[in-house]
Amino acid sequence: MSETPKAPVKGRPEALFPLFADIETLPGVGPKSAKLMAALHIEKPVDLVFTLPASGIDRRKRASVLGADLPGVVTVEVTIGQHWAPARRGGAYRVTVEDAETSFQIVFFRAHDEYLRRMLPTGERRIVSGKVEIFDGVPQMVHPDHMLPAEDAGDIPDFEPVYPLTAGLTQGVIRKAVAGALARLPEIAEWIDPGQKTREGWPDWADALQAAHAPQSMGDLGAAHPARVRLAYDELMAHQLTLALARSAFKRAKGRATIGSGTLQRRVMDALPYKPTNAQTHAISEIAADMAREIKMNRLLQGDVGSGKTLVALNALLIAVEAGGQGVMMAPTEILARQHLEGLRPLAESAGVVLEILTGRDKGPERRAKLAALKAGDIQILVGTHAVFQKDVEFGDLRLAIVDEQHRFGVRQRLELGRKGASVDVLVMTATPIPRSLSLAQYGDMDISVLDEKPPGRKPIATALVNIARMDEVVEKLRHAIAEGRQAYWVCPLVEESEVSDLSSAEERFRRLRAALGEGVVGLVHGQMPPEEKDAAMRAFQRREISVLVATTVIEVGVDVPNASIMVIERAESFGLAQLHQLRGRVGRGEAASTCLLMYQAPLSEGGERRLATMRDTEDGFRIAEVDLEMRGAGDVIGTAQSGLPRFRIADLEGQAALMAIAQSDARKLLSDDPDLTSPRGQAARVLLWLMERDQAIRLISVG
């Protein structure tokens, strides 16, 4: 097949064409293997180049199978003895061979007699390499990987790389294709700062790839090998350059200086029963400074459960109002939007500010009236779902957009959001503590404010692990707590009993608790209820009309009920760490000492035990997030699809957080020295972006 590349994407450097050709232009790759490779996300030679060996096989030659660590791969020189063809069809074909110290058998199934006699002629010497196991006291090598004349021993590498495979694809096909792809590596200029490259002892790009594909020992496969570190850095650098370009595009976009008078902010602060934490005060001043500049704010407010994000958000919205403008706060779901409304309303009222909500439920005349008031500037702060971005929603003078994102708002959506208002400042809030490496990967385009203190009055939550066998004791304790006027959440994993799962359902638990504690004491809320019923149950709990709310995880980001001081999580081992942390954060919001009971079914798996022990031992959301990341990996923690994070082929977000931080500062420095990437190193960085297929970044350069 000719090596004509696919029609290149406009602007791709010519040197890269061979790497972006059709995968079938590589040696040994036909339509069938191309289809199998596609299942591994390998569709072009460049994909193969960045698919590094996952492990390796030691094929160094030994004198004998005796003394080898069996079962295991052995490479040994043998003299071929007698052939034993199977008596019946489909039986084992055996060849007796002798090495320097012992004899053993080579075994084949469904063998071709003639072919094997030609490959392994009796009396000749051969090098064989394959897995050896002891069977009935005799060492056996079944279907050797290599059988060569002794003089060709050099054709077997001492250490053979092993690539990830899918059913039907062989190591041989992949290795041959990789060799073909590596032969196409172009000569390209270096994008890494020369001083840094020398200091770290990193090889050139092409040399790093050649070395990574030709490991000499297991040690060469580790993430700390200089070739692999360099390639991981390249990947992280391309990602951070994309974010830095998005950041500078945002910063280049003309903003408006929004400067508050402080009058409304002071009214709110005076109405507070407590003093803001240092972290809140610091975040408020960072946001105020950003809003006062003539460039758009693009900031992330990251705070743990109960760290007081609402106050910081309201303060920012009041700055917009004081400056004669409007602010909007968006949440991913209606239940969350209403919770923000409830949280903001009493504070906004103390400042005399007009606050309104807009969701998909608003219809007809009511909606039209709200839209008219919004356009006239009569509604000063709007809370809503993403429905506030529909075409007919117009603001009189929108200054600030706050997005409460719960991980559902990636880099791409943030760029879209920035285009909505001509010069709207953007503040993204997340209640999920994110380990540093992930916040750099996911939010590297933003400036970050962190709330890492609990406001005064937030009492610690006592967390205990309870075997589900002690259910009756727990219900009895609950009865006493209710008699004292306390309220409790009881969280169940599933909504209705299913034959497949033994996880107790919310419906069943509701019936049992109602029978034990009495009618009118227990309420139920789950995701499959109509919204009106769900809201009614939540309201009844808020108003203390019911004492126990049986719920599924819909309450993870649900209502704020300060009087609720007990959280029971049934089958806690079936929940993720982040979810357990969010659920526990529903209590500990009022005066009473709070308790969280994690009920588990024994025996616990190792992972389940570690998750529950982490919850018992710490309330620090950032520590919990680090453990979550170690246990699940980055893609699962933030959901790569929603986050706008690329799939890293080489870099490891959990293990290479420090490398990510270096890549971020390098990318930002490169862009500050060379905003249009026109210097020699800037041009090389453009090639890196093409190589890593960061189309979004390339578009930003061409627009910029």
Position 96 pLDDT exceeds 60: yes
Residue 560 lies in a domain: yes
CB 573 within 8 A of CB 631: no
Give the pLDDT band of residue 208 (cuts 50, 70, 90): very high
User: Please, which pLDDT band fits residue 703 given cuts at 50, 70 and 90?
Assistant: very low
Residue 3 scores a pLDDT above 90 = no
DSSP state at residue 304: -
Asked which of 281-290, 319-328, 392-401 is least confident by mean pLDDT, the reply is 392-401
Asked, for residue 678, whether it belongs to a domain, the answer is no
Q: Going by C-beta distance under 8 Å and a sequence separation of 6 or more, which residues neighbour residue 365?
A: none
Is residue 60 domain-shared with residue 174, that is, in the same domain? no
> For the chain, what is the mean pLDDT?
85
Question: What does the pLDDT read at residue 637?
Answer: 52
Q: How confident is the model at residue 645 (pLDDT cuts 50, 70, 90)?
A: low
pLDDT at 179: 95
Q: Examine the fold and report which residue of 591, 618, 645 is the final residue of a domain before the chain moves on.
A: 618
Q: How many domains does one find in the chain? A: 4
Between these two residues, 488 and 443, which has the higher pLDDT value? 488
CATH code, 110: 2.40.50.140
243 closest CA partner among 110, 434, 439: 439
Of 199, 214, 229, the last residue of a domain is 214
Lowest mean pLDDT among 376-390, 545-559, 656-670: 545-559
Based on the fold, state whether residues 357 and 392 are members of the same structural domain.
Answer: yes
Taking 70 as the threshold, does the pLDDT of residue 415 lie above it?
no
Per the CB < 8 A criterion, the answer to whether 428 and 299 are in contact is: yes
pLDDT of residue 406: 52
Classify residue 224: in a domain, yes or no: no
Q: Please indicate whether residue 383 or residue 387 has the higher confidence score (pLDDT).
A: 383
For residues 440 and 555, state if they share a domain: no
Q: What is the CATH number of the domain that holds 486?
A: 3.40.50.300
Q: Where are the extended beta strands (E) located within 31-190?
A: 55-58, 61-62, 72-84, 92-98, 103-109, 125-135, 138-142, 146-149, 159-162
Res. 686: pLDDT tops 70 = yes
Regarding whether 149 and 170 lie in a shared domain, the answer is no
What pLDDT does 1 receive?
A: 38
Instruction: Show the tokens assigned to 631.
Output: 């246990």
CB 1 within 8 A of CB 24: yes
Residue 684: inside a domain, yes or no?
no
On whether both 526 and 487 belong to a single domain, the answer is: yes
430 and 320 part of one domain? yes
Q: Are residues 49 and 71 in the same domain?
A: no
Residue 7 pLDDT level (bands cut at 50, 70, 90): very low
**Which range is least confidently modeled, 327-331, 519-523, 573-577, 638-642?**
638-642
Mean pLDDT computed over 568-587: 88
Domain check: are 478 and 607 in the same one?
Answer: yes
Per-residue model confidence (pLDDT) at position 430: 82
Model pLDDT, residue 644: 52
Q: What is the mean pLDDT of residues 178-203?
A: 94
The full 3-state SS of 564-625, as one line of letters, equals EEEEEECCHHHCCHHHHHHHHCCCCCCCCCEEEEEEECCCCCHHHHHHHHHHHHCCCHHHHH
- pLDDT of 498 over the 60 cut: no
Q: Are 448 and 435 in contact (CB under 8 A)?
A: no
Average pLDDT on 480-506 reads 75
Do 144 and 280 share a domain, yes or no?
no
480 and 543 assigned to the same domain: yes
pLDDT of residue 6: 44
Give CA separation, 334 vs 153, 417, 583, in Å.
69, 19, 19
689 found inside a domain:
no
Cα 612 to Cα 466, 473, 527: the distances in Å are 10, 20, 25
Look up residue 253 and give its DSSP letter.
S
Q: Which range is least confidently modeled, 170-179, 319-328, 618-627?
A: 618-627
Residue 298 lies in domain: 263-451
Question: Does position 642 have pLDDT exceeding 60, yes or no?
Answer: no
Provide the token pair at 701: 């350069």
User: Which range, of 128-142, 170-184, 338-352, averages the lowest pLDDT?
Assistant: 338-352
Q: Could you tell me if 583 and 441 lie in one domain?
A: no
Give residue 49's pLDDT: 96
**Model confidence at 516: pLDDT above 60:** yes
Q: Which of 433, 451, 469 is the last residue of a domain?
A: 451
Q: Which tens digits make up the pLDDT trace of 32-51? A: 999 999 988 899 999 999 99
- Mean pLDDT (whole number) for 173-191: 95
Is 36 domain-assigned? yes
Q: Is the pLDDT confidence value at 157 over 90?
A: no
Tell me what pLDDT residue 647 has. Answer: 74
Q: Is the pLDDT of residue 638 over 70?
A: no
**In a domain? residue 119:** yes
Helices (H) and strands (E) in the chain, counts: 25, 22
Using only C-alpha atoms, the chain has a radius of gyration, in whole angstroms, of 32
- CA–CA separation, 41 vs 22, rounded Å? 14
The reply to whether 566 falls in a domain is yes
Highest mean pLDDT among 105-114, 202-211, 403-412, 561-570 belongs to 202-211
8: confidence class by pLDDT, cuts 50, 70, 90: very low
In this structure, how many other beta carbons lie within 10 angstroms of the beta carbon of residue 139?
A: 20
Q: What is the pLDDT of residue 411?
A: 58
What's residue 417's pLDDT? 56
Residue 88 pLDDT exceeds 50: yes
Residues 191 and 277 placed together within one structural domain of the fold? no
pLDDT of residue 422: 59
